[in-house]
Chain A
Amino acid sequence: MIVVGITEHAATQLGDIVFVELPDVGATVTKDEEVVVIESVKAASDILAPIDGEIVEVNDLLTDAPATVNDDAMGNGWMFKIKASDPSQMDEYMDEAAYKKLVE
């Protein structure tokens, strides 16, 4: 199972987040499908499913407290958990160290 959210860097770039629309639990999603709508004070953005799979849990906290994404993007600001149908799809993603280097 994979926990999906956005990085602190992304949250900072988006600005103050005021609304998060989460997918339905049980939904089957395909890689690169739009599954979350995230609205900051400035604009709406989509979060894409990183892999194929089933949504097994969503972070309902964000419905009432969307700013949690700004406050704790990598912790309490997570968005959904997905059960991967093909875990090898994860291989193309970079790890945290490589990402941090990228956004430096």
Chain B
Amino acid sequence: MSDLLHTPLHAFHVDHGAKMVPFAGYDMPVQYPAGVMKEHIQTRDSAGLFDVSHMGQVIVRGPDYATAALALEALIPVDVLDLAPNRQRYGFFTNAQGGITDDLMLANRGDHVFVVVNAACKGADIAHMTANMPDGVTVIEITDRALLALQGPRAEEALAALNPSVRDMSFMDVATVTLNGAECWVSRSGYTGEDGFEISVPNAAAVALATALLAHDAVELIGLGARDSLRLEGGLCLYGHDVDETVTPSQAALTWAIQKVRRTGGAREGGFIGAGPVLAEITNGAPRKRVGLIPEGRAPMREGVELFADETATTPIGKITSGGFGPTVGGPIAMGYLPTGYDGPIFGELRGKRLPLTRAKMPFTPANFKR
């Protein structure tokens, strides 16, 4: 265990009573003394502060924004070029089969693209980008910055106490903001379904900033346990679980992230790895789809539970990729894959019993973004 990496906030977490667990090669706080349920509710009702410094922060820089953006469009099937300055967008890398090798956030920071990728994939993502950039476009991993997320209906109030200019940011805006004396790269986004911010802060200033935010009476520390239940209620995919390299954008119900300009008939149609299968599937339909599911009764159905069309069938029609108890929903929720167009009964096999589920719209809890 001694080879686990530490974020700049590691000692801060331990000092605040966190239970630390290995996650994507890092020793990370899964919960604090309040526990997952209270931390989840705290974030929905007030504000929660998360350390997400394990995620990869990457700058892609060319002679200008457009050059870097077009270079990334060869790997990412979204419109990077037309993203307005100081705006952020969701995207993903695809492989030759159209499978998603990681999902990410990218931002137009004026003269470069700022990319945030998943911790478990960051090594592969950076190697992939580096190997595929043309001359003059460089990929720089940012290792001297921590990443904090401040999420919840009172996140704006708490962050504005350090710099009122953040009130002017809308959902998916990015800005350079001085917070507690440090130059921070702030986005108005997150992974909870709530309004909030992600804050890239110099390592040396991270503990002081976290301390200053935590001093606000609206803010409590939140661990990875509640981060998972919050994103599940928000209907957001967890890479490696709900989406992986065997799942295409159409199957994952993520085609909303592929703008028209990159689709068949668009001005910059295709031109990314896996464009053939990805675009064909958008036109012709996918064999399976990610859907929201609610187990009837109280028993949670977790990742790996197989789904059947009736109580006796031997061949599953799908499976759950994320599931658990939704503290705000007040019951079990799940997401998983079913054949496209299937609208018959659904049973999950739990401890040898077939228990019914119903389909549900996602998000399970209403999104609360500042548009």
With A37-B351, A41-B325: A15-B299 Cβ-Cβ less than 8 Å: no
A42 interface hit (Cβ, 8 Å): yes
Distance of B4 from chain A, by nearest CB (Å) = 19
Alpha-carbon distance A67/B300, docked complex (angstroms): 14
Closest to A37 in B: B351
**A44 vs B36: C-alpha distance when bound (angstroms):** 15
Mask of A25-42 contacts with B, CB within 8 angstroms, 1/0: 000000000000101011
Residues in chain A near residue B298, CB distance under 8 A: 18-19, 63, 66
Q: Does A21 contact B (CB under 8 A)?
A: yes
B316 at the interface (CB under 8 A from A): no
> In the complex the two chains form, is B300's CB within 8 Å of A18's CB?
yes
Tell me if B299 and A16 are in contact (CB < 8 A).
Answer: no
Interchain CA distance A16-B226 in the complex, whole Å: 11
Residue of B nearest to A64 (CB): B298
Measured between beta carbons, the chain B residues less than 8 angstroms from A39 are 299-300, 325
- Using A15-B35, A16-B35, A16-B37 as known contacts, say yes or no to A41 and B327 having CB atoms under 8 A apart: yes
Contact of A41 among B36, B299, B351 (CB under 8 A): B36
User: Could you say which residues of chain B place their CB within 8 Å of the CB of A67?
Assistant: 37
A16 to B300, CA, bound (A): 13
Chain B interface: which size bin? 10 to 19
Interface centre among A16, A63, A67 (most CB of B within 10 A): A16
Residues of A within 8 A of B263 (CB): none
Chain A: CB-nearest residue to B40: A41
* Complex: A63 Cα to B299 Cα, angstroms: 10
The reply to whether A15 and B31 form a contact with Cβ atoms under 8 Å apart is yes
User: What is the number of contacts between chain A and chain B, taking CB atoms within 8 Å?
Assistant: 42
Q: How far is the CB of A13 from chain B (nearest CB, A)?
A: 10
Given A37-B351, A39-B299, A41-B37, A19 contacting B325 (CB threshold 8 A): yes
Complex contacts, B325 vs chain A, CB 8 Å: 18-19, 39, 41
A19-B37 in contact (CB<8A)? no
Query: What CA separation (Å) do A66 and B298 show in the bound complex?
Result: 10
Contact, CB under 8 Å: B302 / A15: no
Report chain B residues within 8 Å CB of A42. Answer: 30, 36, 225
Can you name the residue of chain A whose Cβ is closest to the Cβ of B327?
A41
How far apart are the CA atoms of A18 and B38 in the complex, in Å?
13
Q: A15 with B300: in contact, given A37-B351, A41-B324, A41-B327 (CB under 8 Å)?
A: no
Interface residue? B229 (CB, 8 A): yes
Known A-B contacts A41-B225, A42-B225; A19 and B35 likewise in contact (beta carbons under 8 Å): no
Give 29 CB contacts A-B under 8 Å. A15-B31, A15-B35, A15-B36, A16-B36, A16-B37, A16-B38, A16-B327, A18-B298, A18-B325, A18-B332, A19-B298, A19-B299, A19-B300, A19-B325, A19-B332, A21-B299, A37-B299, A39-B299, A39-B300, A41-B35, A41-B36, A41-B37, A41-B229, A41-B324, A41-B325, A44-B300, A44-B302, A63-B298, A67-B37
- If A37-B299, A41-B35 are given as contacts, then 7 extra A-B residue pairs at C-beta distance below 8 Å, sorted by A number, are A15-B36, A16-B37, A18-B300, A21-B299, A39-B299, A42-B30, A42-B225
B residues with CB within 8 A of A: 30-31, 35-38, 225, 229, 298-300, 302, 324-325, 327, 332, 351
Taking Cβ atoms with an 8 Å cutoff, the residues of A that contact B are 15-16, 18-19, 21, 37, 39, 41-42, 44, 63, 66-67
